[in-house]
Structure formats: structure tokens, C-alpha cells
Amino acid sequence: MASRFGLLRRLYLAGANAFNAYRVEEGVKPERWPVFLRTEGTHLGPATELIHDRSQLDLKIEESIAMGLPVASLLIVEFAAQPLRPGLYRKFGSFRLGGAEFAHTCVDDDHWIAKTGKEDITPPELYDEEQRIVRDNPHGPSAATAFEMAGLDYGRVDFGLVDGRVQIYEINSNPEIVFTDDHPSPVRQQTYCLFKRNYLDALLAIDTPGEDQSVTIG
């Protein structure tokens, strides 16, 4: 299984991603600015806001190490995000579960770090668009490329769109699964149910009978 850094570097070298990532230990100057720092092996999101030049980067690296972050785990990631519309960023997700691939619901936020989303920011037409995405999984081929490069047959790819092009951010190999229909938007409620059905159908497809564990006494 590829590490976060390994996957991002492979995607960049293959031309699937337009942005690169570097280990701090490499001592390599980024090709594009801005960048941000994040850690290997966690799903806590970026460790810094956007960094715009080398002197600021050096300072943030020193601060991160002083906070106790191991230098071996620190990554420099080139920024690759674009608002879907003014003031709204959308993060997309796509699952692989065995032989099934299907889209997840989106996360909308007013900040480029769209991790958990923000309430009351999504207009009705974007809920309609989200439902089409979960129904049709239009970005499935790009997600499949990431899964193949990572060597994973389960997880969720998180990605954004920049100029209409998929940019893969990470694969969460142990994503939290929450089934709910509690939402003010009836369209979003329907989309939740569609995702739940896709997930449970994928589980059913890989379910196999267990071995007979019965014991005869006598």
C-alpha cells in the first residue's frame, strides 16, 4: 500500500495530478506556490495555512517541529483547490469496496480546507448536482486510478476539481461510515439513502457464507 506521500508523488509523475508533494527531509524547493504542511499517516488535514515563499516555509517547518511533529512525517504539498463558485469550496469523495466503486456525498465549505463542511452554505441546485454525482459517479475513473496506484481495494478517495480536472488529495483507508437521513434538504435526504444503498449492496456482493462451526457432542 502506498503512503500518502508515495501516492501523491506517483499521481504527479503519472500526470494524474497537477500538483506535487515533497518530504521535508528531501530539502527540495517546491515548484509551485503556495504550499502547506501536513503530516504523513494521519487524517487531521493540513498542519498550516497556505505558505507563500521559502522563508515562510522554513519558519513553519521550524514551528511544526518545535510543536512535536516528527520531521520524518512532515510533507510539503503544493496547493490545488478552486472554489466551485465564489465563497464555496466543494470536496468530493469516491468509494471502492471490493469490486464496487461509487460516489460519496460532497462536503461544502467557505474555506479551502473543506473537511467537515459548513451548514447553510449549499444552494438547492448544488444538492441536485450532488445527487447526480452520487447516482452516476462521473469521476469514478479518476478515483479508480488512485486506488490502483495505492494498491487498495477499500477506502474513500477525497478530491477536488480545478478547472474541471480531478485533483486527488488522499485515500482514507478507514473512513468513518455514517448513515443518516437527517437533513433539511429533501434532495440531500434522498442522496444519503442512495449512498447507503450503494454501500450496503457492495458489502452484500462480497459477503460469503462462514464455515460451519457447530460441534457435535456425544
Q: Which triple of cell numbers denotes residue 13?
A: 509523475
Cα distance between residue 208 and residue 7, in whole Å = 31
Q: Dump pLDDT digits (tens) for 112-171.
A: 999 889 988 999 999 999 999 999 999 999 999 999 999 999 999 999 999 999 999 999
Q: Which domains does the chain have, with CATH numbers?
A: 20-78 (no CATH), 89-205 (3.30.470)
Q: Give the mean pLDDT of the chain.
A: 93
Question: If you ran DSSP here, which 8-state letter would residue 4 be given?
Answer: H
From the CB of residue 166, how many other CB atoms can be counted at a distance below 10 Å?
20
Q: How high is the pLDDT of residue 137?
A: 97
Q: Dump pLDDT digits (tens) for 4-49.
A: 999 999 999 999 999 999 999 999 999 999 999 999 877 778 999 9
Q: How high is the pLDDT of residue 217?
A: 57
pTM over 0.75: yes
Cα distance between residue 216 and residue 55, in whole Å = 74
3-state secondary structure of 104: coil
pLDDT at 198 over 70: yes
Any idea what the Cα angle at residue 93 is, between residues 112 and 164, rounded to 5°? 65
Q: Dump pLDDT digits (tens) for 54-100.
A: 999 999 999 999 999 999 999 999 999 999 999 999 999 999 999 99
Q: How high is the pLDDT of residue 208?
A: 81
Q: How high is the pLDDT of residue 216?
A: 58
| Tally of helices (H runs) and strands (E runs) in the chain | 5, 8
CB 53 within 8 A of CB 35: no
Cα distance between residue 208 and residue 196, in whole Å = 20
